[in-house]
Amino acid sequence: MITQASHFVPLKNGDKVHLRQIYKDQNGPIVFFMHGAVENGRIFYTQSNKGLAPFLADAGFNCFVADLRGRGLSEPKISKHSGTGQRDSIVEEIPAMLDYIKDYSKQPIAYFCAHSWGGVLLNSVLARFPTYLNDLKACVYFASKRTIYNRHPSKYIQANLVWYLISPLLIKRYGYLPAKRFKFGSDDETRLSHKEGVEWVKKNPWICPFDQFDYGKALEHISLPPILHIGAVNDKALAQKIDIEAFIKESGNGEQVLNMYGKRYNHKIDYDHINILTSPFAKKETYLDTLNWFNRFE
């Protein structure tokens, strides 16, 4: 039987980030899941054990799904008083969760799994803190890109209009990005996190605006674990093939494979940015390929 449990990891300022552990075997290989922007960990699971994390748990993996600060069940929720951003996720929140998991389970973290911007955050952590590579065997990133190169019309609506124009206006009004209220995300985003993300998406160098740490340069000298990139043919705005390939190129050395999912590749449907993880067909396609990728390294 699959079991779910919540863990809360304290941060320096008193906030708590949430981890959802999903497992049948607590001694199974550990997978760490990271969601993207205006999201939370529920992209990977439901309480009724649907989703990628329960699927992998049923196969024997010990899954830990993250909610970044203020997202999902993390405390407190994002508000106009939230002063943290993307850099805090990279240098504090994610390392705190990784260290907690290792201490709690007494096992190494063997695998990373991410959706969208979550892949950028995880590679950023690995660039800054390469010691996490010591135990990491492989990664799977769903629709992860850093910069948008495609010129599809929907990109100009979702990125240029919503993310670059409307979102700053909402932030000015509310003090944070209420993406959930306005139905263009499953969770909210802080003012600073949005600002930092915009700078990276706009074809700017992969450099921290606070301490000038050069992630791209750091990754040139690091061999990342084998990464399976999963793209969706109907992901027209946020992560087309050209965008994922650019992220692969700037993510340094090591084996990286890109598989696209859609009818032209003999899949059941033309997947998009979200349903590559939520479609009922994903279980026998994107989920199964994730499982097979991880099993290569067991």
Q: Which candidate, 90, 97, 102, 89, places its Cα nearest to that of 127?
A: 90
The arithmetic mean of pLDDT across residues 240-269, rounded, is 96
Cα separation of 166 and 62, whole Å?
Answer: 40
pLDDT at site 220: 94
Q: Is the pLDDT of residue 203 over 90?
A: no
The arithmetic mean of pLDDT across residues 46-72, rounded, is 98
Cα separation of 83 and 104, whole Å?
Answer: 29
The arithmetic mean of pLDDT across residues 145-149, rounded, is 96
pLDDT at site 277: 98
Three-state SS for 182? Answer: coil
- Read off the DSSP letter of residue 251: T
The residue with greater pLDDT, 204 or 28, is: 28
CA separation (Å) from 264 to 113, 216, 232, 245? Answer: 25, 33, 11, 19
- The per-residue pLDDT for range 15-27, each reduced to its tens digit, is 999 999 999 999 9
Q: Which candidate, 256, 261, 285, 286, places its Cα nearest to that of 271?
A: 261
pLDDT at site 214: 97
Find out whether 32 and 7 touch, Cβ atoms under 8 Å. no
| % of the chain residues with pLDDT over 90 | 98
The arithmetic mean of pLDDT across residues 44-53, rounded, is 98
The arithmetic mean of pLDDT across residues 197-202, rounded, is 94
Q: Is the pLDDT of residue 67 over 90?
A: yes
Cα separation of 238 and 143, whole Å?
Answer: 8
**Average pLDDT of the residues of the chain:** 97
The arithmetic mean of pLDDT across residues 44-62, rounded, is 98
pLDDT at site 208: 97
Find out whether 170 and 177 touch, Cβ atoms under 8 Å. yes
Three-state SS for 63? Answer: strand
Find out whether 253 and 130 touch, Cβ atoms under 8 Å. no
The residue type of 129 is F
Q: Model-level pTM?
A: 0.98
Cα separation of 21 and 26, whole Å?
Answer: 9
